[in-house]
Every structure is written in C-alpha cells, then in structure tokens.
Structure 1
Amino acid sequence: MYSLDLTLKYSPIPVSVQRKEADAAQALYQSVLEAMKGDYATLLELTCEKDEDKKIALLSDQISAVVLNKKSGAAAGGRVPGFFATQAAE
C-alpha cells in the first residue's frame, strides 16, 4: 500500500489517499506535481483505494507539499507522514 500525503496551506493536518500499486501511486504523484506547477489553480478530485468511499476535492494552488511513501504491514500504523520523526527518551 502506498500513501500520498498532501500538506495544504493554513492546515496543520495532511490529507492522505492510498494506492495499492506502485505505478498508480507514482502516476498520481506526478499528476499532483503537474497541477502544482500550473499557472492557474485547478480542482483536483482524489479518491482512496483503501477506503472506497473517501473522496477529496481541493484546489491545486493550496497544496504546499506532497509526500509519497510506502506503507508496509505492522510498520504502517506507527509511521508518521513526513521525512523526520523523533522518539521520546524513556
């Protein structure tokens, strides 16, 4: 399972959608990047393959970051989106 996390301007919580296949996740990542590079805001409608009823619509000019990562098995539940996470000292 692959997760695409979108960070929106003025929102501390990322929006996430999942893809089952690596190729589908990479294609979605590229389409979001192209929308972000565009001169005009476009409406993006995203769906989630993990939760079929989950649908998200957002404007491309409101996206400040996009992260594509692989979620695997038990490790998926404990991972946080982003590049850096710290663990509290015990």
Structure 2
Amino acid sequence: MYTIDVTLKYSPIPISVQRKDADSAEALFQSILSAMRSPSPQLLELTCDKQPDKKVALFSDQISAVIVSEKTGASARGNVPGFFAIASGENA
C-alpha cells in the first residue's frame, strides 16, 4: 500500500490517501504536481483505495508539499515519513 500525503498551507496536518500499487501512486503524484505547476488554481478531487468512501477536494494553490511513501512492515504502524522513531528498547 502506498500513501500520498498532501500538506496544505497553514495546516500542520497532512491529508492522506492510499493507493494499492506503485503505478497508481506515481500517477496521482504526477497529477498533483502538474496541478501545483499550473498558473491557475485547480480543484483536485482525491479518493482512497483503502477507504473507498473517503473523498477529499482541495485547491492546488493551497498545496505546499506532496510525499509518497510505501507502507509495509514496520512502517505500516503509521509513522510519518521523514521523522525518526525511537525504539522502545533503545535505553536498555
């Protein structure tokens, strides 16, 4: 499962949607990037493969960052990519 995190201006919490395969995640990533590069704001409607009822709409001019990450094994616990997680037994 691949997670696409979209960070909006003035909002510390990212909007996340999931894709089942790498090709689908890359296609969504490229779609968001092209909307961000557009000189006029575009309305993006995102859906989630993991939660089919989840729908999000946002304007492209409000996006400040996009992150694509694979959620497998230890990373499936919900850790945010780019942040260091301290192991519970590290001090022992």
TM-score, reference length from structure 2: 0.88
User: Which residue pairs with 2:23 in the alignment?
Assistant: 23
Which consecutive segments of 4 or more residues in structure 1 shift more than 3 A? none
Structure 1: runs of 5+ lacking an equivalent: none
- C-alpha distance in 2 between matches for 1:43 and 1:77: 31
Q: Which amino acid letter does the alignment assign opposite residue 61 of structure 2?
A: D
User: Which residue pairs with 2:53 in the alignment?
Assistant: 53
Cα distance change, pair 72–48 in 1 and its aligned pair in 2 (3 A): same
User: Which residue pairs with 2:64 in the alignment?
Assistant: 64
User: Which residue pairs with 1:4 in the alignment?
Assistant: 4
Q: Which amino acid letter does the alignment assign opposite residue 83 of structure 1?
A: G
Structure 2: runs of 5+ lacking an equivalent: none
Cα distance change, pair 72–59 in 1 and its aligned pair in 2 (3 A): same
Count matched residues: 89
User: Which residue pairs with 2:37 in the alignment?
Assistant: 37
- SS of the aligned residue for 1:69 comes to strand
Q: Which amino acid letter does the alignment assign opposite residue 36 of structure 1?
A: M
- SS of the aligned residue for 2:73 comes to coil
Q: Which amino acid letter does the alignment assign opposite residue 87 of structure 1?
A: I
